[in-house]
């Protein structure tokens, strides 16, 4: 080798990361699953539980009318609401489990998070309006906020759910400006009658 000839330096090859097919397949499956969860509708709303909620409201109506104070009147409806919430929660959990639809992720989580804010506002307004001596407006406020919650949660559920929410809001808007003596009638019509009607529709069209 001549001294004038340049000495060739070893070329350092760039190492490419090795992509394992197994890892790629798992990542693809995870992406597909998350995409399907986000695109799916929450179908675990129970029609039969919705009917049961309507029955609770119809039973609460005569009890509420027999009360002598506004505090007792509110107590009757609060107990009915808590019982309805318990029945709905248990039925949704059972239906979701049967359909293998998770409640903590995907549409189930979005449904719950969308439903909750208006219900929390309803609790706070109930306390405030009662303390302010404005309990006469509670039927309209309850129906409006419940309808708002159902519309918001129904955006991630089957089509009939947000329609039910709009119907509740309509009844609530009328109740808000109606005579005070009609309050229990509007509550029976909304929480009783509308739950029976839409519960039957959900049960027939969406598997119970």
What residue ranges do the domains of the chain occupy?
A: 43-205
Chain-centre distance for alpha carbon 9: 68
Helix (H, G, I), strand (E, B) or coil at 17: coil
Q: Among 190, 205, 208, which Cα is nearest to 84's? A: 190
pLDDT score, position 144? 95
pTM equals: 0.76
Q: Are 159 and 177 in contact (CB under 8 A)?
A: no
- Calpha distance 68→70 (Å, rounded): 7
- Predicted local confidence at residue 145, as pLDDT: 95
Mean pLDDT taken over the chain: 82
Question: 116-175 pLDDT, tens per residue?
Answer: 899 999 999 999 999 999 989 999 999 999 999 999 888 877 788 889 999 999 999 999
């Amino acid at each position: 080798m001549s001294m004038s000839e340049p000495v060739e330096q070893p070329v350092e090859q760039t190492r490419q990361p090795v992509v394992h097919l197994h890892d790629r397949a798992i990542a693809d499956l995870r992406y597909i699953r998350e995409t399907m969860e986000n695109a799916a509708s929450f179908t675990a709303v129970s029609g039969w539980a919705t009917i049961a909620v309507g029955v609770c409201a119809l039973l609460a109506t005569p009890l509420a009318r027999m009360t002598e104070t506004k505090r007792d009147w509110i107590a009757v409806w609060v107990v009915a609401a808590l019982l309805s919430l318990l029945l709905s929660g248990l039925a949704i959990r059972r239906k979701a489990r049967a359909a293998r639809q998770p409640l903590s992720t995907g549409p189930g989580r979005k449904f719950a998070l969308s439903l909750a804010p208006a219900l929390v506002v309803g609790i706070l307004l109930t306390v405030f309006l009662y303390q302010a001596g404005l309990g006469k407006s509670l039927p309209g406020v309850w129906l409006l906020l419940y309808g708002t919650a159902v519309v918001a949660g129904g955006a991630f559920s089957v089509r009939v759910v947000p329609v039910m929410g709009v119907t509740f809001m309509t009844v609530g808007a009328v109740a808000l400006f109606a005579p005070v003596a009609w309050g229990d009638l509007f509550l029976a019509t909304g929480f009783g009658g509308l739950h029976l009607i839409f519960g039957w529709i959900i049960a027939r069209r969406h598997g119970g």
